[in-house]
């Protein structure tokens, strides 16, 4: 358990967070969309069509108005209201959170930073029973994703063949060295996992031919 190539078997019928339309309270707050009295619009692409969601903020709630697809060419208008709470931060200021309303007829009440469009309404990840795509990754896939993430921090393009750049200006030499070491270890783990996977595929093909 936990070795190279291990990972949760993906349920093809289960949706992931990354595949859903999402409202992020932090992004809305940074853009000023949560200021009382503010009206704004967000847009996303649904197939070949651009869909708009209208937002109107009050002190403790956010009013939503948007269309949802109910057929190939049919849309239905939906209005909803999401409660918002502001909690004080440790070093001053406050942070906004959505209060998940839960599926109709229920009362979730979780404080969350993201809500996902499920059928007609925006709900938290627990109410929509969504998983993260990373939960279905194997250990070598996680290692490769981590290596690419660290490379982006150093301004390196993803891919093992990409050369390492000089130390970024303003970065401590020790920090730069630690990042390079982490990238190397992650890529070695990813390479080993890919090699093991290839060996298993070759062995399976040989068994099928015998």
Distance CA(122)–CA(44), nearest Å, equals 14
The residues facing 24 across adjacent strands are 114
CB atoms within 10 A of CB 67: 15
Q: Where in the sequence is the domain holding 162, given as residue range(s)? A: 137-209
CA distance 18 to 69: 19
Q: What's the pLDDT tens digit per position in 122-156?
A: 988 888 877 655 555 667 667 777 778 888 777 77
Q: What is the pTM assigned to this prediction? A: 0.58
Q: Do 100 and 180 belong to one domain?
A: no
In a domain, 146, yes or no: yes
Q: Are residues 144 and 82 in the same domain?
A: no
For the cut 50, the answer to whether the pLDDT of residue 182 exceeds it is yes
The count of other CB atoms within 10 Å of the CB of residue 82 is: 19
Last residue of a domain, one of 77, 103, 128: 128
Specify whether 90 is located in the same domain as 156.
no
Say which residue, 138 or 40, is predicted with more confidence.
Answer: 40
Residues 60-108 have pLDDT tens digits of 999 999 988 887 778 889 999 999 999 998 888 899 999 999 887 678 9
Residue 69 and residue 38 in one domain? yes
Would you state the pLDDT for residue 16?
57
pLDDT band per the 50, 70, 90 thresholds, residue 47: low
Establish if 6 belongs to a structural domain: no
User: 24 and 88 share a domain?
Assistant: yes
**pLDDT for residue 184 is more than 70:** yes
The percent of residues above 90 in pLDDT, for the chain, comes to: 28
Provide the domain count of the chain: 2
Mean pLDDT, the chain, whole residue set:
79
90 and 45 together in one domain? yes
Report pLDDT for 112. Answer: 94
- In this predicted structure, what is the pLDDT of residue 10? 47
């Amino acid at each position: 358990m936990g070795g190279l190539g291990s990972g949760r078997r993906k349920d093809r019928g289960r949706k992931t967070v990354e595949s859903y339309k999402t409202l992020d309270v932090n992004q809305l707050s940074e853009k000023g969309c949560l200021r009382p009295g503010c009206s704004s619009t967000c847009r996303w692409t649904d197939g070949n069509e651009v869909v708009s969601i209208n937002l109107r903020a009050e002190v403790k709630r956010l009013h939503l108005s948007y269309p949802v697809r109910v057929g190939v060419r049919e849309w239905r208008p939906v209005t909803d209201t999401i409660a918002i709470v502001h909690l004080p931060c440790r070093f001053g200021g406050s942070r906004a959170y959505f209060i998940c309303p839960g599926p109709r007829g229920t009362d979730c009440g979780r404080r969350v930073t993201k809500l996902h469009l499920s059928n007609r309404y925006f709900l938290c990840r627990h109410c929509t029973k969504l998983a993260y795509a990373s939960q279905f990754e194997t250990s070598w896939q996680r290692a490769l994703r981590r290596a690419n993430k660290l490379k982006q921090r150093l301004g390196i393009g993803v891919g093992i063949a990409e050369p390492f750049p000089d130390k970024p200006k303003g970065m401590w030499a020790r920090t730069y060295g630690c990042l390079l070491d982490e990238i190397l270890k992650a890529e070695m783990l990813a390479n080993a996992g890919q090699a093991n996977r290839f060996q298993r595929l070759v062995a399976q093909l040989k068994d099928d031919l015998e």
